[in-house]
Chains A and B, each alone.
Chain A
């Protein structure tokens, strides 16, 4: 059974903190993605990676960075969290066909 896991379901951080969101997939997929989902704005792509150590900006990369040191793991980093980064963060992976999502991390920045 395919699986994408995320390190936390709920997270509360303070403004200015450095935040790490971790995602792991067990399907040996080349492609991994980070989205954020906000009411009325749908799913927006932050960053994606098509191979180890490779990354590309999505539609809203500002304020975020990513790391992919191993094929199965893709990390999203908020360098200095701000209140406008309060959102649901969704990780996904695909191997060129169906895309699979993790359960999401609901991040609140206070």
Chain B
């Protein structure tokens, strides 16, 4: 099956710092999504990004599908950005699209 690798696995930042999270995938995919899981376990969809670049406030994402990677940029980090960031790639199996998740990047933002 498809492999989804995220780096770094762990990241500690001081508030106000910028960071880049990377997602590599091993095969062609129909789509890619980024999620943030907060400390209470809720997964929030950040970006639906099959290709190109999108921005939402302090977050932006870029997917280069031909080279099989995606990047999530966090600028001016805040403590509320702490949690685990997952990328997930979408495969269509003929009946339903389903996501394969990476193992995540755990981010801790300190004061």
**Do residues B102 and A99 form an inter-chain contact, with CB atoms below 8 A?**
no
Contact of A97 among B40, B48, B88, B98 (CB under 8 A): B48
**Do residues B42 and A101 form an inter-chain contact, with CB atoms below 8 A?**
yes
- Residues of B in contact with A (beta carbons under 8 Å apart): 31, 33, 35, 40-45, 48, 86, 88, 93, 95-99, 101-104
Number of A-B contacts defined by CB within 8 Å? 53
**Do residues A98 and B96 form an inter-chain contact, with CB atoms below 8 A?**
no
Contact of A99 among B33, B40, B103, B104 (CB under 8 A): B33
The count of residues in chain A whose C-beta lies closer than 8 Å to any C-beta of chain B is: 26
**Do residues B98 and A45 form an inter-chain contact, with CB atoms below 8 A?**
yes
**Do residues B101 and A103 form an inter-chain contact, with CB atoms below 8 A?**
no
Given contacts A42-B103, A101-B45, 20 further A-B contacts (CB under 8 A): A30-B96, A31-B97, A33-B98, A42-B86, A42-B101, A42-B104, A43-B86, A48-B96, A48-B98, A50-B96, A56-B93, A90-B41, A99-B99, A101-B43, A101-B44, A103-B40, A103-B42, A104-B41, A104-B42, A106-B41
**Do residues B33 and A88 form an inter-chain contact, with CB atoms below 8 A?**
no
Contact of B45 among A45, A98, A104 (CB under 8 A): A98
Q: In angstroms, how far is the closest chain A Cβ from the Cβ of B37?
A: 9
Q: Which residues of A contact B102 (CB under 8 A)?
A: 42
**Which partner residue on chain B sits nearest A37 by CB separation?**
B41
Tell me the bound Cα distance from A99 to B96 in angstroms: 12
Looking at B40, B43, B45, B95, which has the most chain A CB atoms within 10 Å of its CB?
B43
Tell me the bound Cα distance from A35 to B88 in angstroms: 13
